[in-house]
Amino acid sequence: MIAPKQVAAPVSDAQGVVASLEREARPLERTDSQSPSKIYPVAKRGLDVFVALVAIPLTAPIVLLCLVASALSTRSWPLLAQTRVGQDGRLFKMYKIRTMRPDVQIPPGSCPKLPDDPRVTRVGRFFRKTSIDELPQLWNVLIGNMTLVGPRPALPEIAALYKPWQYERLAVQQGMTGWWQVMWRSEKPLHEAAEDDIYYVRNRCLKLDVQILWRTVGSVLRGRGAF
C-alpha cells in the first residue's frame, strides 16, 4: 500500500491545507486481495444513481422546509457548501443544511464536534439527530463526487493531520454513511473511526453496502450517538 505523503500544514491556514493536499495527494495502490469484484463498481454506481433519483424528489419538500427553518434559526444562509477531501485526495464541495449559528464562538482548541456545542441551534440539534442536515448530499451522490456508502469525507485541515496508515480510507469514494456511522455514529472518537473505515475499504462489497444502508435507517430512527 502506497499512501500520499503526510501533509504538514497549520490547521488555521485552510487555504494552505487545500493547496498542500492538491499537490501531495496521489492515487493509492491496492493489492488484488483488497480489490472487490469487477462488477461491484458498476453495481454500486447504479445503486447510487437509482436511490438519488428516487430520494431527491421525495425529500425536496422536507429539505426546502428545513432550509427555511435553518435560515430563521441561524440567521444566515442555510445551505452550506463545505470543501471536503474525496477519493485519492481530490477536493470537492459537500452540501449540507446549516445547523450552527456562525456568530457564536467556542474556546480555541476545543473539539470540533461537541455533545453540547453552543453553536448548534435547537432546530439544528433536531436536524443532526435525524440526519436531515445530510439530505442535500444526495445531490453529491447523483453527480458522482460522493457515494451512498463509504468513509465520511474529512475537512482538509483534519486530513492534513492524518498519519500514513490513515490515508487508506481515501482509497475509495467517500460516502453519506459508512461502517463507523452504523456501529458508533458520534460515540467513538474521530481518530479511532479510521480503523472502521479501513475495515470497510478492505471488505467492501454490494452485500455490505446494503447492510450498512439498512442499519443506517435503524441508527437514524433511534437517534443513537447523534449530536
Q: Which residue has the higher pLDDT, 37 or 35?
A: 37
Encode pLDDT of 47-102 as tens digits.
Answer: 999 999 999 999 999 999 999 999 999 999 999 999 999 999 999 999 999 998 88
| The most confident of 6-10, 136-140, 181-185, by mean pLDDT | 136-140
Residue-level pLDDT at 28: 44
Whole-angstrom CA distances from 72 to 75, 79, 88, 120, 122 are 5, 12, 38, 13, 11
Question: Is the pLDDT assigned to residue 176 strictly greater than 90?
Answer: yes
DSSP 25-66: --PPP--GGG---TTHHHHHHHHHHHHHHHHHHHHHHHHHHH
Q: Which residue has the higher pLDDT, 110 or 43?
A: 43
Encode pLDDT of 51-61 as tens digits.
Answer: 999 999 999 99
Residue-level pLDDT at 29: 46
Residue-level pLDDT at 195: 85
Residue-level pLDDT at 13: 45
Q: Which three cell numbers stand for residue 70?
A: 435553518
Question: Is the pLDDT assigned to residue 140 strictly greater than 80?
Answer: yes
Band (105; pLDDT cuts 50, 70, 90) = low
Q: How far apart are CA 206 and CA 219, in angstroms?
A: 20
Mean pLDDT within 144-171 = 93
Provide the Cα torsion 7, 12, 128, 142; round to 10°: -50
Question: Is the pLDDT assigned to residue 223 strictly greater than 60?
Answer: yes
Band (147; pLDDT cuts 50, 70, 90) = very high
Query: Which parts of the chain fold into alpha helices (H)?
Result: 14-24, 40-74, 122-130, 137-143, 156-159, 179-183, 190-203, 206-222
Q: How far apart are CA 6 and CA 18, in angstroms?
A: 13
**Total-model pTM:** 0.78
